[in-house]
Structure 1
Amino acid sequence: MLIGVMGLSASATGAAEATPAEQPAAAVVTGFRSATFGMTEAQVIAAIQKDFKVNRPDIAVEQNKIERTTSISVTVPDLLPDTGKAKLAYILGHKSKTLIQINVGWGAVAGVPATAEQILGTAQLLKTYLLGAGYDPQKSAVDAVLPDGSVMLFRGITTQGPATILTLSGPVEQTGDRKTLTPAALSLSYISNPGNPDIYRIPKGQF
């Protein structure tokens, strides 16, 4: 099954190339800006206010009743220049009550309308950045089509364990053997422990 992404240029889908002298240092992911993995709710809120100069009422705190995690979210303008509003969600673990994941979203995933061109522009900027950020190619994946038709533009795992995932999603139209994705949302996630997330699970043997 073939899949194309409306408007995505060939340069955005190819892997970055670098000569040995240009090889970047190994990628390290400890959080996002001032917020680092392991922070408490109060520390995360303070980091958000420091990074984005927002008032406390502009920061929402919600509970995920299924995973029993806590989400601290805020919407900010132009997180990257000329990319429109982005929604950031800082996830605190079920048991640890500390920061385990940061999700950044543009377009539909952020509840903010954006054109396909805006989404693609942001996607290309981020993908190019991540491809040159020093992730181990042996632990990375590029342009993987997911079951729902969305495209995981990049996934990289650092030597310390945290992962970075960039995903493009939107309506998928099928013509014959080809599917075409019209970009409507872009998600970037930094995950502290992708193999064993701190979420609620039914205890073994309970059912």
Structure 2
Amino acid sequence: MNVPSLPIRPAPVSRWLGLMLTLSMSSLPLATHAQPAVGISFSGQPTSFLVQSEPYAVQGFGRARLGMSMDEVKASIAADYPQVISTREDDNAVDRTRSMAILVPALAPAPGRATISFVFGHRSQRLAAINIAWVLEGEPSAAQREALLAAGTQLTSGLVGYQWDVGSFIRGHVPAPGTLIMFSGRDAQGGGAEVRLDGVALDMEQRIASAGAPARPAVKVPAPGGAARLRYSLVSQVERPDVYRLVPGSF
């Protein structure tokens, strides 16, 4: 099946997640403000996928379901990941959310260790976001970076076959050099899903210098130096995150 055309308008999943993912051992620096696009890339986009007859609904990862209590999430972790290397809990003093992260020795589809972060909302105390991160430290080889890209393709193929409203998702968005949002979408209930890569080589289909600028020829952009990262993120509400907010006029 041919790959559908790429919508250009970015969904705001990253901006919401940047508020919620607080553990330094697991979180990647998601942008908290809109950034101008530097290009569009088909790198890693699935060329075939199973077409679903229903809209996608963001629900959770493994046995962990968005909306669960912390005790329920801990029970799901015990069932899904019997070989947890380490666990960490933390509080965000600004958002007043509670976070828990686990490090596991392996997690498909990407190679190596993975960190899974669970973020619980300020008011509800229920699971509001899940962030899975695979990080290749140091200077990964080209083959290792390609394996990470292939894993991102696999995750993306599990999303693109569903029905998404026009304008509710993007594919192949490059918000900054060395960063590729393979897929970012918002479901009908306001939940968000995102697959994001940092530190891999890209085939740039076009570069956007300014609004209305003509597309330029495709160019190969080599991987930047340093670590490579793949992140798969799920949130319950993109537009209305369950975080602490000051009451107007309270100070």
TM-score (norm 1): 0.77
State the distance in 1 between where 2:103 and 2:153 align.
Answer: 21
State the distance in 2 between where 1:43 and 1:86 align.
Answer: 21
Structure 2, unpaired ranges of 5+: 1-36, 202-208, 210-218
Hey, what does 1:44 align to over in structure 2?
73
Hey, what does 1:69 align to over in structure 2?
97
Shift of 1:90: 0.5
Q: Which moves more between the two structures, 57-66 or 135-144?
A: 57-66
Deviations 1:173-198 (A, max 9, x none): xxxx8793627111111110111101
Q: 1:101 aligns with which of 129, 144, 166?
A: 129
Q: Secondary structure at the match of 1:117?
A: helix
Assess, with a 3 A threshold, how the Cα gap between structure 1 residues 186 and 112 changes in structure 2: closer, same or farther: farther
State the distance in 2 between where 1:195 and 1:204 align.
Answer: 19
Segments of 4+ moved more than 4 angstroms: 1-5, 14-18, 111-114
Structure 1, unpaired ranges of 5+: none
Whose relative contact order is higher, 1 or 2, with alpha carbons under 8 Å and at least 6 apart? Answer: 2
State the distance in 2 between where 1:188 and 1:77 align.
Answer: 17
- Corresponding position: 1:78 with 2:106: yes
Taking every aligned residue pair, what percent have the same amino acid on both sides?
28
State the distance in 2 between where 1:113 and 1:42 align.
Answer: 38
Structure-to-structure mapping, 1:177-192, within 5 angstroms: 180=221, 182=223, 184-192=228-236
Q: 2:45 aligns with which of 1, 13, 22?
A: 13
Deviations 1:83-121 (A, max 9, x none): 22111001001111110010011115xx79853223212
State the distance in 2 between where 1:81 and 1:126 align.
Answer: 8
Q: Secondary structure at the match of 1:83?
A: coil
The number of equivalent residue pairs is 194
Q: 2:237 aligns with which of 171, 186, 193?
A: 193
Verify the 8 A CA contact 1:3 1:181 in the aligned structure 2.
Answer: no
- Corresponding position: 1:202 with 2:246: yes
Hey, what does 1:124 align to over in structure 2?
153
Q: Secondary structure at the match of 2:102?
A: strand
State the distance in 2 between where 1:135 and 1:85 align.
Answer: 32
Opposite residue 38 of structure 1, the aligned amino acid is G
Shift of 1:142: 0.6
Hey, what does 2:87 align to over in structure 1?
59
Shift of 1:160: 2.6
Verify the 8 A CA contact 1:59 1:74 in the aligned structure 2.
Answer: yes
Verify the 8 A CA contact 1:150 1:181 in the aligned structure 2.
Answer: no
TM-score (norm 2): 0.65
State the distance in 2 between where 1:125 and 1:112 align.
Answer: 24
Q: 1:146 aligns with which of 175, 186, 193?
A: 175
Opposite residue 94 of structure 2, the aligned amino acid is I
